[in-house]
Structure 1
């Protein structure tokens, strides 16, 4: 079988931030710069616009998550103008938006509570609860099934944003607990879920320092994959209060997220430093790419 090919992300302002795989193997990609959601049909070599920038009152798009059970693509939408990124609309605030995976039509919208909000990434639990990381406040938010608004699930001063970016990747482990990382802090935490509430929050000891940790997703048990914006895709194995970090592939160009299909992790190389600090970093390398990395079944 031929090795999978790199996918080109269309647009000079694409800056891919997050990626997820639908049940049919299609890939969905967000962008804080251009907004909207791009899609890659199974086997295609280039993205195409699926949700138009600004559609359904969206702005800069961040975390995406395809939930097969409800046939929903969940999308974080933010006013990122405070970060120097205008986005495609003038909608204020941060929202979690739900789109129909069959049609792309908008069907749900939930505003994040508070004045300092940035909906960064999300995961969905087996009970249907959605957990969202707020990068501008030390909070993990939860949207229970049937609820009309978010609640603060966990808050901890160790989640406080550092140099403008705090909580980022989030995943649920095989033990039923929540795992999160902090982008600029370079830390990894376990948040116990006990009786439907947040329990003890433990900072995990990593086997080596991690650089700008971003997307975090479970593989099996308490084994995860994670990207480091510093340039790597890692395997993370948690035992007790320790996390073993093993680099699967380095030399990636500022990776931001990944989606795994049949043993291949499709990694978005977002180059976001060129978006948020263009004057110092200069223009990005074009075209933007989604790079396949073999990770095993």
Structure 2
């Protein structure tokens, strides 16, 4: 492992701990919202996605596996058991209905003090059949150390993946089972996390540690100019990022769910509502669902041994 990668992992752990401040207060503020309970065996949801029929899928950073909540359910159910198909700790998830796959980031979370369901080392992208839940594709991230954090499907049908411990974005071409480095640049060293394609065809990413947003031009699948965007306000621990109509939606570990509008080289960040340590989001029709991962509980020494309750919360889309 490179020293730089280890230091970044430790820095991420430290700043996530800071985000736990005020979680209890935020939870009370959101208590009246519609919610879906996460089973006790699948705590700390890190990723969230939905299919067009309204089914939600969430991961578990500590225990692994995938839970599923069908339309109208008040509690999610375990759909993919922890450890299935060589998975360990599960991070980002993405429903790719065109390919019939649920993409899942699987990682060794040992540096976070988390054991996970087995001792498999390394970081992987796993593809599960959306109908049966059977594992179909397994691709290991080629660089060490790595953390497969989040995923997006590009206009070319390829899968694009953020690597939190390296300043790189990986690509899994349609029909391939091997990841390649699509772009690597020191500008992206602040802990790559959320990822989404805009209507302009460019790829947008945020960095969890440094609180930045970048646009990466893409021409026929070839990475182009990387531009750091000015943000209308500071962003703290930006995480899940999803394209939404003419802009994006984004959550920050510090609490906000926000609408992001790109105007030239500037990102206008308009807060919609605060949540308890949100990590990911998904849209179903006119409803936004938020995963309250509350990952700060894993890092804050004063919270050691405590496990809050976990849920997916919804609000009407603005």
Q: Same fold (TM over 0.5)?
A: yes
Q: Does 1:217 align with 2:242?
A: yes
Q: Does 1:240 align with 2:269?
A: no
Alignment partner of 1:279 is 2:308? no
1:227 aligns with 2:256: no
5 Å-filtered alignment, 1:27-46, equals 27-46=56-75
Pair 1:193-2:223 in alignment: no
CA contact (8 A) 1:18 1:268 kept: yes
Secondary structure of 2:176 counterpart:
coil
1:132 maps to 161
Between the aligned partners of 1:183 and 1:260, the Cα distance in structure 2 is: 22
Is the alpha carbon distance of 1:263 and 1:285 closer, same or farther for their aligned partners in structure 2, counting shifts above 3 Å? farther
SS in 2 for 1:280: helix
Select 2:138's aligned residue among 109, 115, 120. 109
Q: Pick from 288, 292, 307 the counterpart of residue 265 of structure 1.
A: 288
Cα pair distance change 1:59/1:12, threshold 3 Å: closer
Distance 1:283 1:43 in 2: 33
Q: Which runs of 5+ in 2 are unaligned?
A: 1-31
Give matches, 1:9-28, under 5 Å.
Answer: 9-11=38-40, 14-28=43-57
Q: TM-score, normalised by structure 1?
A: 0.93
* Residues 1:68 and 2:97 are matched in the alignment: yes
Indicate which of 167, 192, 196 corresponds to 1:167: 192
CA drift at 1:149: 1.1
Deviation at 1:262, TM superposition (A): 1.2
- The CA deviation at 1:278 is 4.5
Counterpart for residue 93 of structure 1: 122
Kindly state the Cα deviation for residue 23 of structure 1 after the two structures are TM-superposed: 2.7
Matched, 1:50 2:79: yes
Higher relative contact order (CA 8 A, sep 6+): 2
Q: Is the 8 A contact 1:7 1:46 kept in 2?
A: yes
Q: 1:206 to 1:257 in 2, by over 3 A?
A: same
Cα deviation, residue 235, structure 1: 0.1
Match of 2:317 in 1: 295
Partner Cα distance (2:201, 2:306) in 1? 39
Distance 2:83 2:37 in 1: 22
Moved over 6 A (4+): none
Q: Deviations over 1:232-282 (max 9, x none)?
A: 1000000110010000002x110000110111111011110112x152334
Q: Distance in 2 between matches of 1:284 and 1:23?
A: 36
Question: Are the counterparts in 1 of residues 64 and 116 from structure 2 also a CA contact under 8 Å?
Answer: yes
Residues 206 and 239 in structure 2, CA contact (< 8 A), matched pair in contact too: yes
Aligned equivalents of 1:274, 1:243: Cα separation in 2 = 30
Q: Is the 8 A contact 1:5 1:45 kept in 2?
A: no
Cα shift at 1:217: 0.5
2:279 aligned partner: 256
Inter-partner Cα distance in structure 2 for 1:285 and 1:86: 15
Q: Which has the higher helix share?
A: 2
Deviations 1:92-148 (Å, cap 9, x if unpaired)? 101100101111111111111111110000000132110000000000111111223
Contact 2:255 2:276 in 1 (8 A): yes
- Report the TM-score when normalising by structure 2: 0.87
- Aligned pair count reads 287
Secondary structure at 1:122's aligned position in 2? strand
Structure 1 Cα separation of the partners of residues 180 and 223 of structure 2: 12
* Cα offset, 1:13, TM superposition: 5.5
